[in-house]
Chain A
């Protein structure tokens, strides 16, 4: 079963539009961690945010905001006033003990490709 689902394969917007990237996760652990990463065309994976399962407080960082809702097992990412430089593949990841029973291992969704047109 897929643990992290990013149903949106590709999103295309025009600059200055707001865009929300969806992430739905599945875990039986009560303690787990959620992440978002950005992969620009250059290929590196850039860490954006971490959330633990006990902290449902939403977070805003500049044009980025994250909405964590345990009731719906979702951790969505919104970019306000998108810019061309936001064009990248965005990955949501879940870290829990489920895979090994011991280590917390980040499991990634398939990613959402965001294309921002000028």
Chain B
């Protein structure tokens, strides 16, 4: 158990809908990363938050947004969903230093139908 909790584990939704994925980092970790894993793109970095502030953006679509709350949990919002958004979405957290290893949650499997 990595200590990172993601909910829900599975999500099936229709095209055009909006969903919210939730992540609780390990106790004490200030950094939260979101990744998307699909068969054709591999593990793609989406966004990084550190202690509530957005620090880096990767290949995140404009339809996607995220935030990190004062209690350090994070949410990833995906809107106007398309079939191609079907993927495994991972959240990871790391410690107070910005160079420590990231521990991953079990992921949320999103299926858009």
Do these two chains interact? yes
Residues of A at the B interface (CB closer than 8 Å) are 31, 33, 35, 37, 43-47, 50, 52, 91, 95, 99-100, 102-111
Residues of B at the A interface (CB closer than 8 Å) are 2, 33, 35, 42-43, 45, 48, 50, 55-58, 88, 90, 92, 98-107, 109
Q: Which residue of A lies closest to B56 (CB)?
A: A100
- Say whether A104 contacts B98, CB under 8 Å: yes
Chain B residues, CB < 8 A from A109: 42
- Say whether A102 contacts B2, CB under 8 Å: no
A44 to B92, CA, bound (A): 11
Q: Which residue of B lies closest to A44 (CB)?
A: B106
- Say whether A47 contacts B102, CB under 8 Å: yes
Chain A residues, CB < 8 A from B104: 37, 44-47
Minimum CB–CB distance from B30 to chain A (whole Å) comes to: 12
Chain B residues, CB < 8 A from A37: 104
- Say whether B56 contacts A102, CB under 8 Å: yes
Q: Which residue of B lies closest to A111 (CB)?
A: B42
- Say whether B102 contacts A110, CB under 8 Å: no
A50 to B107, CA, bound (A): 21
Chain A residues, CB < 8 A from B48: 100, 103, 105
- Say whether B98 contacts A108, CB under 8 Å: no
- Say whether B45 contacts A44, CB under 8 Å: no
Chain B residues, CB < 8 A from A35: 101-102
Chain A residues, CB < 8 A from B2: 44, 46-47
- Say whether A105 contacts B56, CB under 8 Å: yes
- Say whether A103 contacts B55, CB under 8 Å: yes
